[in-house]
Structure 1
Amino acid sequence: MRLIECVPNFSDGRNQNVIEAIASAIRHCEGVSLLNIDPGVATNRTVMTFVGEPEKVVEAAFQAVRKASELIDMRHHTGAHPRIGATDVLPLVPLSGVTLEECAEMARALARRISHELGIPTYNYEAAASCEARRNLADVRSGEYEGLEAKLQDPAWKPDFGKAEFTEQAARSGATIVGARDFLVAVNYNLNTTSTRRANAIAFDVREKGRIVDGEQIAGTLKDCKAIGWFIDEYGVAQVSMNIVNINTTPLHIAFEEVCRAAGARGIRVTGTEIVGLVPLRVLTEAGRYFLERQERSTGVGDDELVRIACLSMGLSEISQFKPRERVIEYLIEDHTKKRLVEMSCRAFAIETASESAAPGGGSISAYMGALGAALGTMVANLSSHKKGWDERWNYFSDYAERGQKLMKELLALVDEDTAAFNRIMDCFAMPKGTPQEKELRSKALQAATLYATEVPLRTMRVSYEVFDIVETMAGEGNPNSVSDAGVGALAARSAVLGAGLNVKINASGLKDKELAAKLVGEAEQIAANAARREEQVLKIVNEKI
């Protein structure tokens, strides 16, 4: 899933009508989830958080900036927080499947569009900055709105996009600073002490800025981390409060381990961890994987188990219960109204398949058989990783279990994707065809849908074929008590390949481009032939061991 987060700051925290109008502009953008609205009366500033696919988030951001420019007049704005415009700062944050560099390119394109279409001078900061002098937000915002007219006249502060003039629009809306940064994790570490001084000492030990000793700045041990110590009356304990501004440089679990080390050196224990706000799923799955590796246990388990291990290891529920479904971004944006086949029980899936509806059909069943083949190979890998006396090879089998998990996830996604592809063809048949133009549009849409419905089972074949790499190794080297499971995995993988192959052929027959159809069918036939050979090899190993 390609996801980014946008956290724009708007210069109004008091007028609920203005705040709601901006929020509504975001909500009306399809495919975007507005997760949080945080207005501040004293700051006269509202922070909104929304997520989605990159292109959709960028569009929502633009519409929000447009609405803010219509409703907020900076000539009458006062507030405690520094600001330079109606939309003051607008960062894009990569969550999954998107790099920081890609977000930086999107931020520049968005800044260009804001200046071009709305007449607002724009600057870029952080990863999107045009030069090092503009990387720091505070530097770009220096002088604030009141100093903007003079700033625009300074050649050193010419906007990255837009006119270097204090136009009527600039007077009303100010400037906007668009950037790209990594996800920020706010976290508090609970200590078995009430001493703020000791909590501060630990914070100074680990934060990148460190402390001043005899007039010299001594850096802390964690890069891209800011931290202080404080006492929380509500909990009756001192905490190290930390912002991790780059989770790629310093992941949460590494910060946790380092705070534990620094606390232990001062005779103090970390008793638990409190995550503030939302986190991407990978923050917790990476932590779960890390702690399993420390135990020399297989990391080839599902996301739910990785999250559970992370929660246990860092004490995320010490103060209040940590509920992943309410705190993990990917879980929050799941479409719970959409009926997904893979979320059904085995019985319900079988009944749905047996109904008079044509979907789910053979393509979805093939993908599910492939997923079961991958699951069996993964199971054998996990059992082998944990087998008594095989401790020296635990990580070898763990790697195979991780590969199996990846294939299983891909194939489970293809279960629903195949049915969606079929429904797409059905939708084309419902298109109007009363005029030549309508007929042409319908024909083009049907060909596109047919090609897609051919490509999906071909993907199922490719992924299912990869399952043989796992089940064959597990049959030959895995736990001998589970060799039959590896054999069944091979049978399931071959059935998945052959079943999906039939769907490739029947759907390809509807393509007008016969050369392309022959190419797709040819690849499918080659994969099927290879799968039959691989199945035979695996069963030979299995029968010899049985």
Structure 2
Amino acid sequence: MKRIIECVPNFSEGVNSNVVAAIATSISAVAGVKLLNVDPGRDANRTVVTFAGDPDAVVEAAFLAIKTAGELIDMRVQKGEHPRMGATDVCPLVPVRGVTMSETVGYAGKLAKRVGDELEIPVYLYEYSQPNKQRSDLAIIRAGEYEGFFDKIKLPGWIPDYGPNKMNAKCGATVIGARNYLVAYNITLNTKLVSIARQIAYAVRERGLHGVPGKLKYVKAIGWYMQEYSAAQVSMNLTNIEETPVHVVFEEVSALATQFGVTVSGSELIGLIPLIALLQAGKFHYEKFGLTADATEQQLVDGAVEYLKLDSLGKFEARERVIEYLLQ
């Protein structure tokens, strides 16, 4: 069986297309790697890139991408809606085929050490790569963001796992680790009121607000305003879609939106999604009409796109957004 890992680095640049193109080129130039998706966001000022391939080749491509981002992105002037702490904000590795999570942890460690040693960027390990579970969560690591890290990095509990024990003013710091599939998913509301989006985010996300847990496990969420859409969004990371599927999140956000007197006008994926998530959503959609028994895979995918309103902001091409289709 061919060994494949996926890498989904997030870069703090979503406006300058030349910078995004240079990062993508550094990845696709590595033999044994397939560039799957490049998804820039102007208001978030952030680009999510997805690529996959042979583990050693993926590590090499990730290193070159982080190096390119560090050369071209200046965190001293970078601003955007999305929380961030470095030019390469986070760089996860995901086992796909023929590779265990333990092996993926090893590859992530190899990448993190090289970034710290050769690029002199402070690196924090997260998720399965981080043995200290008090600092394995990305949101906890990134708290304070770029501006706050000049002081945070000096605290005893926040010495980087690799690299210098001081902030890199131009590149910032980065987070690297091994994790399972994550779905980055935003739901758009028919309102410009960020306060409503934030209240919904607090209600659904697992950690809730002020010590009161939210409704959905394995969900991280914030509310923000997207100038591009002239609307508020609930922006989420779904870290375990087996336990909390995409359609369950959509249902819950829709119900809460109604309570606030607004509606869901659409949703969007940032990056790629596993096929199973769309098949589950399509099945849920068709069950309302008793039509699942003979539904084909294509019908389920189409039903999911319709139900989740994934084409509300532009045509949704499943062949370009589903991981399994792109790896065929």
Structure 2 partner of 1:277: 270
Mapped pair 1:226 → 2:226: no
Residues 460-499 of structure 1: pairs in structure 2 closer than 5 A: none
Q: Equivalent residue for 2:65?
A: 64
Q: How does 1:85-484 map to 2 (within 5 A)?
A: 87-93=88-94, 103-118=104-119, 120-137=121-138, 139-140=140-141, 142=144, 144=146, 151=153, 156-162=157-163, 175-181=173-179, 182-188=181-187, 205-208=203-206, 210=208, 218-223=212-217, 224-226=219-221, 228=223, 241-246=234-239, 247-262=241-256, 266=259, 273-280=266-273, 281-292=275-286, 302-317=296-311, 320-331=314-325, 333=326
What is the CA-CA distance between 1:307 and the residue it aligns to? 0.4
> What TM-score, normalized by structure 2, do the two folds share?
0.69
Cα–Cα, structure 1 residues 101 and 285, in superposed 2: closer, same or farther, change >3 Å? farther
**Aligned residue in 2 for 1:425:** none
What is the distance in 1 between the residues matched to 2:138 and 2:260? 38
Q: Give, in angstroms, the shift of residue 259 of structure 1.
A: 3.4
1:29–1:77 CA distance, 2 compared to 1 (3 A):
same
SS at match of 1:90: strand
SS of alignment partner, residue 93 of structure 2:
strand
- Aligned letter for 2:52? G
Larger relative contact order (Cα-Cα within 8 Å, sequence gap ≥ 6): 2
Give how far 1:160 is off.
Answer: 1.8
SS at match of 1:221: coil
Q: Is the 8 A contact 1:272 1:316 kept in 2?
A: no
* CA distance in 1 between partners of 2:73 and 2:307 (Å): 49
- In our comparison, the structure showing a higher alpha carbon Rg is 1
Where 2:113 maps in the other structure, the secondary structure is helix
Contact persistence 1:272–1:315 (CA under 8 A): yes
Match of 2:10 in 1: 8
Residues 103 and 180, structure 1, Cα contact 8 Å, conserved in 2:
yes
Displacement of 1:51 after TM fit?
1.6
Alpha carbons 2:9, 2:92 under 8 Å: kept? yes
Match of 1:28 in 2: 29
Contact 1:7 1:49 in 2 (8 A): yes
**TM-aligned CA deviation for residue 254 of structure 1:** 1.0
How much does 1:239 deviate? 6.7
Residue 274 of structure 1 aligns to a residue whose secondary structure is strand
In the alignment, the residues of structure 1 paired with residue 224 and residue 87 of structure 2 have an alpha-carbon distance, to the nearest angstrom, of: 34
SS at match of 2:38: strand
For 2:39 and 2:223, how far apart are their aligned partners in 1? 26
For the structure 1 residues 300 and 13, does the alpha-carbon distance in structure 2 shift closer, same or farther, using more than 3 Å as the test?
same
Change (3 A) 1:298 1:131: same
Residues of 2 paired with 1:88 and 1:309: CA distance?
34
Asked if structure 2 preserves the Cα contact closer than 8 Å seen for 1:3 and 1:95, the reply is yes
Which is strand-richer, 1 or 2?
2
Q: Is the 8 A contact 1:4 1:98 kept in 2?
A: no
Q: Aligned partners of 2:195 and 2:73: how far apart in 1?
A: 45
Would the aligned equivalents of 2:24 and 2:65 in 1 still touch at CA under 8 Å?
yes
Partner Cα distance (1:126, 1:90) in 2: 11
1:237-286 Cα deviation digits (max 9, x unpaired): x776341432343211111233344456x497957642243431222122
| TM-score normalised by the chain length of structure 1 | 0.46
Partners of 1:15 and 1:269 in 2: CA distance = 34
Distance 1:63 1:261 in 2: 44
Give the 3 Å change call, closer, same or farther, for CA 99–299 of structure 1 in structure 2: farther
- Tell me: CA distance 1:125–1:268, structure 2 relative to 1, closer, same or farther (3 Å): same
Higher-helix-fraction structure = 1
* CA shift digits 1:123-176 (9 cap, x unpaired): 212342231232244554558489659936x654443234x5669xx6876643
Gaps (5+ residues) in structure 1? 336-546
Q: 1: CA distance between counterparts of 2:318 and 2:226?
A: 26
CA-to-partner distance for each residue in 1:172-202, whole Å, 9 max, x for gaps? 76643213444133232556x9988877766
Equivalent residue letter for 1:50: T
Q: Would you say the 8 A contact 1:145–1:174 is kept in 2?
A: no
CA distance in 2, matches of 1:229, 1:73: 23
Q: SS state of the match for residue 4, structure 1?
A: strand
CA distance 1:108–1:234, shift in 2 (3 Å):
closer
For 2:200 and 2:41, how far apart are their aligned partners in 1?
32
Q: Percent identity?
A: 30
The count of corresponding residues between Structure 1 and Structure 2 is: 317
Q: CA RMSD in A?
A: 4.8
Cα deviation per residue 1:100-120 (whole Å; 9 max; x = unaligned)?
A: 666444322321233355554
Retained in 2: the 8 A contact 1:251–1:283?
A: yes
